[in-house]
Structure 1
Amino acid sequence: MPDLSALGRTAVGAAGAAALGLGYATLIERNAFTVREVTVPVLAPGASTLRVLHISDLHMTPNQRLKQNWLRELDSLEPDLVVNTGDNLAHPKAVPAVVQSLGGLLARPGLFVFGSNDYFAPVLKNPLAYFDRDHDRVYGPPLPWGDLRAAFNERGWQDMTHVRRDIEVGGVRIAVGGVDDPHLERDRYETIAGTTDPSADLRLGLTHSPEPRVLDRFAEDGYDLVFAGHTHGGQLCLPFYGALVTNSGIDRSRVKGPSRWGAHMRLHVSAGIGTSPFAPARFFCRPEATLLTLVPAPRDEIRRAAGSAAQSAGSSR
């Protein structure tokens, strides 16, 4: 006959551990903001070093003072360029909080694209749906993304939604292209399709959700580095295992941080800074911004990338 008292103690212990874990995930780690620093050898030989701050997935509501104060401090990193890959909003009155929190960063060169939670407010969802890539999408009421775009543009940040631009930052010549959010199937890559400028020091792509169909197109056109967000780094991760889901088409090994995509392109996925108000928890996945130091790539890698791009261009003719 089983020892009912032992079973009871086990159940109570498990419930207590679960409660502690939930408390840690919702009250502590969700607000344990951090800056991760990485070096990426991706520039053309002889190019100057470029410091890029990648921010994503703020999911801002007006009363999130801890997050807003931490964001204000990021300007002290003195990046040469700021890249914002979307999902800034989580409330219809959050635009002023986002703009004020970004503060001095808006006075620096900046590029952005929007994500699903810039366009639509978050809603309560069944968390098990994230394990099914083909689950029906549920969207809340529209958010004032147009006001946010106007505020960013007014301060000098450039909207890269279905646009290609040539810019120069810190003496580095950058060919940039971006698409609208693939998670909402708003991406129209054909509007920016074509081989990138081979004379640029850096060929940079922007997208909110890192969907393979879009990443493949960036790689085919010769982009060196693509920035994305959306995944939250998995948000709820397990020790020694990592993310349970990516909420996108990429594999778990690429859910956050730098990785390679194809023969020559690099991908950087931000683990993001916020969470949905309906899922305010992070576990083994701290909210983060990333400061990337871009340096020249080894010459043999440049030659391989150039050869691959030339082969791709030739096969497309």
Structure 2
Amino acid sequence: MRVAQMIAGLAAAGAAAASYAYLEAHSYATRRRHIILAGESTPATIASGQSTPDAIASGHTPAQHEHGTLRILHLSDMHLIARDSGRAHFLRSLADERPDFVITTGDFVGENAGIDAVLAALEPLTELPGAFVFGSNDYYGSRPKNPFSYLFGDSSSDGVEGRAILDSERLRAGLTSRGWLDLTNTVATTSVAGWDLELFGVDDPHMGRDTMPLLSPHTPGALRIGVTHAPYVRVLDEMASAGADLIFSGHTHGGQVSLPGGRALVTNCDLPATYAHGLFQWPPVEQAPITADGSLTLAHSATAVNLSAGLGTSPYVPLRLFTAPEVILLEVVP
């Protein structure tokens, strides 16, 4: 009798945890962070009274920036499929945030039918300037697998056997025809809200498709931004060495299933789980990644990484635990 009661109790606890994880996977949040650009003589100071600082500074002297705040909306890992009406509605609502620029770090879709759905959901945002790279799920559809297999290593060695080939070129054309910049292994420059942006990106490192583009010397006063889907250490090192002030990435889902308090177990790449999501300096310093709101100023010439926990999940495992889906509104403050 006791054994039966124990089994029933465990089953009830498991069902409750799964229900909570399903609800959390659909509880979309917008994180608000600030990066304050410091000059050479500016000391590292916390400008927030919160226990966990929430922004990182990098880069150039204030005299080079006489314009206002640059508002960048960071989207990642939407994994949209045709039936995701709630997620699509949330994406359409983000235009109300009135960002100056949109950066998307891949895994837009989870199936071919999701291409039209994501282009429609992003339509209000594609009225704004933006840039993007792709992730593996923009080239190949998801497939059923053991939902706990990711706990035992990254999935880069899984291959593409059994995965549907997606019409990635139709997705690419849909985005570029609306004016967004394709940063696949290339560079681009643009001016937004009075800021000169030097953008460069790579194709998905998780599939070994990345090739670092050749960059010109850093223009004084310009903001240099690196964009990658998967935050492999070698890619972050290369981008930081190339003089990136900011790096945007996704892929990890913040661990997707974490311990209480949001402590991730894995990143699905070689990045330590401590840095599964948040805003942090690269190379790392002895400071916890920033996962909530606030601001921090760092010393001159640091590189900041904004790593999104993403918005979606695999259609076969629509669960998140202690890692809510997110988009990030990052304000760069001169």
TM-score by length of 1: 0.87
Amino acid corresponding to residue 119 of structure 1 in structure 2: Y
Partner residue in 1 for 2:75: 55
Partner residue in 1 for 2:8: 12
Instruction: Confirm whether residue 107 of structure 1 aligns to residue 112 of structure 2.
Output: no
Cα distance in structure 1, aligned partners of 2:328 and 2:153:
29
Q: Which has the higher contact order (CA 8 A, sep 6+)?
A: 2
Partner residue in 1 for 2:174: 151
**Structure 1 residue 129: Cα displacement:** 3.2
Inter-CA distance 22–62: structure 2 relative to 1 (3 Å threshold): same
Inter-CA distance 240–194: structure 2 relative to 1 (3 Å threshold): same
Q: Give 5+ residue unaligned stretches, structure 1.
A: 297-317
**Structure 1 residue 196: Cα displacement:** 4.5
Q: Confirm or deny: 8 A CA contact 2:262 2:323 kept in the other structure.
A: no
Cα distance in structure 2, aligned partners of 1:150 and 1:19:
43
Q: Confirm or deny: 8 A CA contact 2:77 2:105 kept in the other structure.
A: yes
Once the two structures are superposed, the pairs formed by residues 109-124 of structure 1 within 5 Å of their partners are: 109-124=129-144
Q: Confirm or deny: 8 A CA contact 1:43 1:294 kept in the other structure.
A: no
Partner residue in 2 for 1:169: 192
**Alignment: residue pair count:** 289
Partner residue in 2 for 1:293: 331
Instruction: Confirm whether residue 227 of structure 1 aligns to residue 265 of structure 2.
Output: no
**Structure 1 residue 117: Cα displacement:** 0.1
Secondary structure in 1 aligned to 2:332?
Answer: strand
Secondary structure in 2 aligned to 1:94?
Answer: helix
Inter-CA distance 196–254: structure 2 relative to 1 (3 Å threshold): farther
Cα distance in structure 1, aligned partners of 2:237 and 2:207:
18
**Structure 1 residue 265: Cα displacement:** 1.1
Instruction: Confirm whether residue 23 of structure 1 aligns to residue 46 of structure 2.
Output: no
Q: Identify the match of residue 85 of structure 2 among 58, 61, 65.
A: 65
Inter-CA distance 50–34: structure 2 relative to 1 (3 Å threshold): same
Q: Confirm or deny: 8 A CA contact 1:43 1:295 kept in the other structure.
A: no
**Structure 1 residue 43: Cα displacement:** 5.6
**Structure 1 residue 175: Cα displacement:** 1.0
**Structure 1 residue 135: Cα displacement:** 6.5
Instruction: Confirm whether residue 179 of structure 1 aligns to residue 202 of structure 2.
Output: yes
**Structure 1 residue 68: Cα displacement:** 0.8
Inter-CA distance 292–134: structure 2 relative to 1 (3 Å threshold): closer
TM-score by length of 2: 0.83
Post-superposition Cα deviations, 1:241-270, rounded to whole Å, max 9, x if no partner, equal 611111011111211110111272111111
Secondary structure in 1 aligned to 2:166?
Answer: coil
Runs of 4+ with >6 A deviation:
none
Aligned Cα root-mean-square deviation (Å): 1.6
Secondary structure in 2 aligned to 1:103?
Answer: coil
Secondary structure in 1 aligned to 2:113?
Answer: coil
Q: Confirm or deny: 8 A CA contact 1:196 1:203 kept in the other structure.
A: no
Q: Give 5+ residue unaligned stretches, structure 2.
A: 37-57, 285-301
Sequence identity of aligned pairs in percent?
38
Q: Which range is displaced more, 225-234 or 239-248?
A: 239-248
Partner residue in 2 for 1:299: none
**Structure 1 residue 35: Cα displacement:** 0.6
Q: Confirm or deny: 8 A CA contact 1:174 1:200 kept in the other structure.
A: no
Partner residue in 2 for 1:306: none
Partner residue in 2 for 1:271: 309
**Structure 1 residue 221: Cα displacement:** 1.2
